[in-house]
Amino acid sequence: METAAYYYMPLFKPGAVVQLGGSRETVSHVVVRRGGLLVHLVGRDVPVHPDTLWLEPSAFQLSRVPE
């Protein structure tokens, strides 16, 4: 069996604390529409694009599981 591959990417989920510019914000919810991802923040009416946010990447392991 091959070795597992690890991928690192931010995991935007409700309650996650992100940085927008110099301020800390909390994720309210995430919406996926037409292949695009929008992040709604607590206390803000307008969603933001995830590229404008900073969040520590999470590690994901991809490997085959024997049947």
Contact 10, 50 (CB under 8 A): yes
pLDDT of 63 over the 90 cut: no
Question: pTM for this structure?
Answer: 0.78
Can you give the pLDDT at residue 1?
44
Q: pLDDT for 3-60, tens place per residue?
A: 678 899 999 999 999 999 999 999 999 999 887 999 999 999 999 999 999 999 999 8
pLDDT band at 67 (very low <50, low <70, confident <90, very high): confident
Sign, CA dihedral 7-61-40-17, equals negative
Can you give the pLDDT at residue 3?
67
